[in-house]
Amino acid sequence: MSDKVDLWALSDLATPWCLRVAVTLGVAEHLARGITKIDDLAREADCDAESLARVLRHLVGKGVFEEPAEGEFALNETARDLVDPGPVRGNLDLDGWGGRVAGVWSGLLSTVRTGRPSYQEVFGRPYWEDLDAEPGLAASYDAQMTNGGRNVPDPAALVGDDWADVRHVVDVGGGAGALLAETLRAHPHVRGTLVDLPRTVARSGEIFEAAGVSDRASVSGQSFFDPLPRGADVYLLTRLLLDWPDEEAAALLTRCAEAAAPHGRVVVDGGVSPGGAPPKGGLMVMMLTGGRTRNLDQFGALAAMAGLAVTASGNAPSGRYIVECRPA
Ligand SMILES: C[S@@+](CC[C@H](N)C(=O)[O-])C[C@H]1O[C@@H](n2cnc3c(N)ncnc32)[C@H](O)[C@@H]1O
């Protein structure tokens, strides 16, 4: 069998964009409510019927939606996944954070030419400033971090799963607290502190409440480049370090090292790959923020700059690769 790839199919942008447009216009939800005729769909979605029909027919050809009669559309099994808001939808909605992560690809060439993130060139402001400036976008981003992608969050993982001596966990850049909530639920003897930006920790109350851990959870709405709550046993950095170029990543690790000293651990989950082979992935953060994935050798060098020594690494039961460090 030939391993030659069809370059036309590989380079097609029509399907990814049609899918995003259908999701943004809520087509699956309208269909689920029984609105099936193209004129009615277009009225509900406040758009042009002819153009919408052309988009939907493209998707029907790709196996998303059906057109059982001319001008009348229906959900099929794949399209039904677009009805409930959730991981896929949040990533595809062009009116929210999904629009930023879709649009930033238009800056890939610029990033490759310059070695710098292209987000500002495409959207007019650096990534984090853009989230600061647009509350709706920040809310959509926080929701996506909580619900999106791989995230019905597993509890935090430690190498060797040795929680017996852990009393206090600080989840650094822990978003709205979903991972910390699961972690506290899994370990009833542990209390936790969520560190993230004020607008983000403000969303954690309901999440802690729903998990039944409010009495053991506290928050610190702050920048993680400022001094962190001191003296905890574990400082978690989950899917975080890869957001940042080396200088900022080293500064963040330094704050963790200072706060963890002398006995705490800094646990990095996400963005580090084992060994010394070139790390994969991280194209999106390359364009958004100039962040990067790192292999263990690169991470170890960064940790050393921050006054940390790698003391353990390995795969959690979930398969996630975890690296632990301690103040050197
Ligand atoms: C990729 S998300 C990871 C969230 C969480 N750890 C997870 O795995 O779902 C990065 C987080 O860093 C937070 N963040 C970004 N800049 C920050 C800063 N300067 N200080 C504190 N938090 C920050 C964001 O608000 C966001 O919640």
Q: How confident is the model at residue 149 (pLDDT cuts 50, 70, 90)?
A: very low
The pLDDT value given to residue 1: 64
Average pLDDT (84-104) is 86
All structural domains of the chain, each given as residue ranges with its CATH number in brackets, are: 7-80 (1.10.10.10), 88-147 (no CATH), 159-277+289-327 (3.40.50.150)
For ligand 1, is residue 248 a contact (CB within 6 Å)? no
| Average pLDDT of the chain to the nearest whole number | 94
Q: How confident is the model at residue 161 (pLDDT cuts 50, 70, 90)?
A: confident
For ligand 1, is residue 203 a contact (CB within 6 Å)? no
The pLDDT value given to residue 88: 75
Distance CA 76, CA 211 (A): 34
Find the 173 Cα to ligand 1 centroid distance in Å: 4
Q: How confident is the model at residue 70 (pLDDT cuts 50, 70, 90)?
A: very high
Find the 159 Cα to ligand 1 centroid distance in Å: 22
Between residues 266 and 153, which one has the greater pLDDT? Answer: 266
29-68 pLDDT per residue, tens: 999 999 999 999 999 999 999 999 999 999 999 999 999 9
List the beta strands (DSSP E) in 102-258: 168-172, 191-196, 217-221, 234-238
Q: What percent of the chain has pLDDT over 70?
A: 97
For ligand 1, is residue 220 a contact (CB within 6 Å)? no
Find the 240 Cα to ligand 1 centroid distance in Å: 6
Q: How confident is the model at residue 87 (pLDDT cuts 50, 70, 90)?
A: low
The pLDDT value given to residue 146: 82
Give the β-pairing of 66-69 and 217-221.
unpaired
Q: Where are the alpha helices (DSSP H) in 203-245?
A: 204-211
Distance CA 219, CA 232 (A): 14
Distance CA 166, CA 183 (A): 12
Find the 165 Cα to ligand 1 centroid distance in Å: 27
- Per-residue burial over 123-142, b if 16 or more Cβ lie within 10 Å, else e, is beeebeebbeebeebbbbbb
Q: What is the DSSP letter of 86?
A: S
Whether the pLDDT of residue 150 is over 70: the answer is: no
The pLDDT value given to residue 49: 98
172-190 pLDDT per residue, tens: 999 999 999 999 999 999 9
Contacts of 61 (CB under 8 A, 6+ apart): none
240-252 pLDDT per residue, tens: 999 999 999 999 9
For ligand 1, is residue 238 a contact (CB within 6 Å)? yes
Contacts of 232 (CB under 8 A, 6+ apart): 168, 169, 170, 193, 259, 260, 264
Name beta bridge partners: 236: 171, 267
176, 170 Cβ separation under 8 angstroms? no
For ligand 1, is residue 144 a contact (CB within 6 Å)? no
Q: What percent of the chain has pLDDT over 90?
A: 87
Pocket test for ligand 1, best of 154, 196, 225 (most atoms within 8 A of CB): 196
232, 259 Cβ separation under 8 angstroms? yes
Contacts of 98 (CB under 8 A, 6+ apart): 20, 23, 24, 90, 91, 92, 140, 144
Whether the pLDDT of residue 171 is over 60: the answer is: yes
For ligand 1, is residue 294 a contact (CB within 6 Å)? no
